[in-house]
Amino acid sequence: MMLAQEIIRAKREGMALDEAQIQHFVRGLVDGSWSEGQVAALGMAIFLRGMGRAEAVALTRAMMHSGRVLAWPDMPGPVLDKHSSGGVGDKISLMLAPLVAACGGYVPMIAGRGLGHTGGTVDKLEAIPGYQTAPAPADFDRIVRTLGCAVIGQTGDLAPADKRFYATRDVTATVESVPLITASILSKKLAAGLQGLAMDIKCGNGAFAATPAFGQELAQSIVDVAAGAGLKTRALITDMNQVLGWEVGNALEVRGAIDYLRGDLPREPRTHELTLALGAEMLVLGGLAADTPAARRRLQAALDSGAAAERFAAMVAALGGPADLLDHPQAHLPTAPVVRPVPAPRAGRLTGMRTRDIGLVIVELGGGRRQPGDAIDMRVGLDRMRQLGDVLSEGDPVAMVHAADDAAADRAIAQVLASITLDDASAPWTASPLVMAELG
């Protein structure tokens, strides 16, 4: 007979939990035999006492097996995915899934919603009229097999233990635990039946991992635990001390992804670099390219030929969206009634962004959630966002605000101006590297 309170006591005293104890806990999460107080207590004990690698692997595997585990028998190519730890303006999944599919990978991407100041891929896709982020399992399977990719929302039957544990951690201040974050991410990815995973660990003032040390610890944990659970994983630690790309906000980011895939405009350099870097990791993990330079050439060719854009268009149509979204995005994506510039208060070089604050501007505009059930205004956000290092004259737009009304636009303009730093344009300035480290 195993008692919840004895398992909590063992962890409280700093002991390592064995597989049977961890499985007892995970079963209790799903069947309700562990009370809310007991779940919270073990979460806090783990938060304070930590977990060894073997414990984290056991927790990850138990949560993975707490619900349905997808299998992809007879796939003609490798089953691959990418996960980002969340940033501001991070729309990479929208481009990467069809791009990797165009290179021979199969990408069953089960994405998340926005969390706090960070936007969620599923929310962005729901800015597309008709797009079904919760298709029937058989449809998801068929679309991945025929098109090579489908990006959908989390289903309740994949790693259900994680859903309950995360909800409790969220309200008991135990989210920022490396082993618990690791198990939460990997249990869902393992349940998706992957053969290779590229992790994008964001690091900086717009990221969950604010410091390089925390980013390194999280990336190493994910790579090691994934290996222990049998999933080949590579992690990039990438800079999130500025907004990624020119757009932030749901419909605006979808438009940005379409512009990127079509290639009608020059591609924003950091967005392009990160897309190629993560795509290359996926192709090499899946054996679709011999090395990184070969993978990058293949990805660039799939962009240049229009093959990646075609996959995106086909995926949108297969999941219920407009068949002509790629050709006529302006006819389908919602637009805000008020669009106003954020004028630079003086001339100078843009040398700093409080990126988290810019993410919160989107929430204030209505483009994110304060409470889990909140409706989102898909139209609002920022675009034509200037990047660090850009030199502006007085009055030049730092960004364009898209808002529901003038009062909201006024507030957003003031908030954006409060979150940027302009320095003398003649002072020396060096760009930070986008990819800060690679692990795995």
Residues marked as catalytic: 81-84, 121, 169, 184, 188-189
Nearest in space to 64 (alpha carbons), one of 225, 255, 272: 225
The owner of tokens 């691959």 is 80
Distance CA 170, CA 94 (A): 27
Task: Judge contact between 388 and 433, C-beta under 8 A.
Answer: no
Helix (H) or strand (E) holding 189: helix 178-191
How many Å apart are CA 227 and CA 222, to the nearest integer? 8
Q: H-helix or E-strand containing 332? A: helix 329-332
Strand partners, 340: 401
C-beta separation of 182 from 221 below 8 A? yes
Q: Answer yes or no: are the C-beta atoms of 366 and 123 closer than 8 Å.
A: no
Contact present, 315 and 369 (Cβ < 8 Å): no
| DSSP class of 170 | H
Give phi and psi for 90, each to the nearest 5.
-85, 95
Q: What is the dihedral of CA 115, 118, 121, 125, to 10 degrees?
A: 100
Give the angle subtended at the CA of 127 by the CAs of 236 and 206, to the nearest 5°.
Answer: 35
The residue type of 206 is G
At 232, list the tokens. Answer: 């080949």
Q: Report the SS3 class of residue 276.
A: helix
Answer for the pair 201, 166: CB distance below 8 angstroms, yes or no.
no
What angle, rounded to 10 degrees, do the helices at 137-147 and 307-318 form? 160
In terms of C-beta density within 10 A (0-12 exposed, 13-18 middle, 19 or more buried), how is residue 227 classed? middle
Contacts of 375 (CB under 8 A, 6+ apart): none
